[in-house]
Structure 1
Amino acid sequence: MPKELITLGDHIKKKRLENNLFQKDVGKIIGTDNFTIVNWEKNSTKNIPAKYYPKIMKFLNSCPLINNTKKSPTTFSEKIKLHRLHQGLNQKQFSQLLEVDSTTVKFWESGERKPSEKTAEKLKVIIGG
């Protein structure tokens, strides 16, 4: 059992062990294989693909990205990324919904650039803030 819940892999492993599940069981629930779950739990995977986030959060019955007050989104950039991940969208998919270039979303999420006033209003409606 992980001592500290720092990564998404730590949260997955804790929940899996609490429920006496095998990695292959969690893989079926989330929609991937047991090897992927092993890599996530060992923190061998730097970035978990966005498409898995909705099922991971359903499995965990929470969002570990916001349950920790240290990680709660405070900036518009963080809120954009959190919303995108909750929807299970990668940057390209999210950019297509907003009709902007995918590098634009990357810059927004990194805080390097801010959305135009018109796009910011659209985003506020979408992400609620």
Structure 2
Amino acid sequence: MPICSIDLHTTIPHPAGYPTSLDTIYDHIKARRIDRGLSKVELAKILDVNPLTIGTWENHHKHLIPRMRKKIINWLGYVPPLGVDENTLWGRLYIYRSIHGLTQKNISDTLKIDSSSITKIEKNEDVNPSYYKKIKELIENR
């Protein structure tokens, strides 16, 4: 019978290059790629992009187009931080567009709103109040 019991706990350190924090979608891409043991070339094949694109994303040097945000969200299996306030209508609209791979033009065509108003809404600028109602209905009826 042991005189005392000792529990030893340790954490396995992340490999070199692993993001120190997961603040952006780009950090999540890199972390998930490393967690899954994928090279940039392998991930590029999965997402159907140029391998150099993976590096530019992971280094925060290239913005994601809506179609790619949707692909990445599907590949990750969750919606990572997109840098918007999800408690605001404009933030929720941006997240909605990202999940569905929609452009501002897609939304404006669907809602019969001019696309400049969608841009204004996502910049948190004032527009015709009836547009807010249409957007809320679209987002809530996903």
Match of 1:8 among 11, 25, 33: 25
**How many equivalent residue pairs?**
124
Q: Which runs of 5+ in 1 are unaligned?
A: none
Match in the other structure for 1:128: 140
Report the Cα distance in structure 2 between the residues aligned to 1:71 and 1:91, rounded to whole angstroms. 16
Superposition RMSD in Å: 2.0
More helix by share: 1
Structure having the higher Rg: 2
- Letter matched to residue 92 of structure 2: K
Matched, 1:85 2:102: no
Matched, 1:111 2:124: yes
Question: Contact 1:108–1:114 (CA<8 Å) still a contact in 2?
Answer: yes
Post-superposition offset of 1:93: 2.1
Report the Cα distance in structure 2 between the residues aligned to 1:29 and 1:71, rounded to whole angstroms. 27
Provide the TM-score with structure 1 as the length reference.
0.85
Post-superposition offset of 1:28: 2.1
Report the Cα distance in structure 1 between the residues aligned to 2:112 and 2:42, rounded to whole angstroms. 38
Go from structure 1 to structure 2 and tell me whether the alpha carbon gap of 1:124 and 1:71 turns closer, same or farther (over 3 Å shift).
Answer: closer
Report the Cα distance in structure 2 between the residues aligned to 1:31 and 1:116, rounded to whole angstroms. 40
- Letter matched to residue 95 of structure 2: L
Deviations 1:45-86 (A, max 9, x none): 1x21111112101111110027xxx95501111111111111
- Letter matched to residue 135 of structure 2: L
Report the Cα distance in structure 2 between the residues aligned to 1:71 and 1:121, rounded to whole angstroms. 20
Provide the TM-score with structure 2 as the length reference.
0.78
Match of 2:67 among 51, 58, 66: 51
Match in the other structure for 2:78: 62
- Letter matched to residue 122 of structure 1: K
Question: Contact 2:117–2:127 (CA<8 Å) still a contact in 1?
Answer: no
Report the Cα distance in structure 2 between the residues aligned to 1:88 and 1:71, rounded to whole angstroms. 16
Q: Which runs of 5+ in 2 are unaligned?
A: 1-17
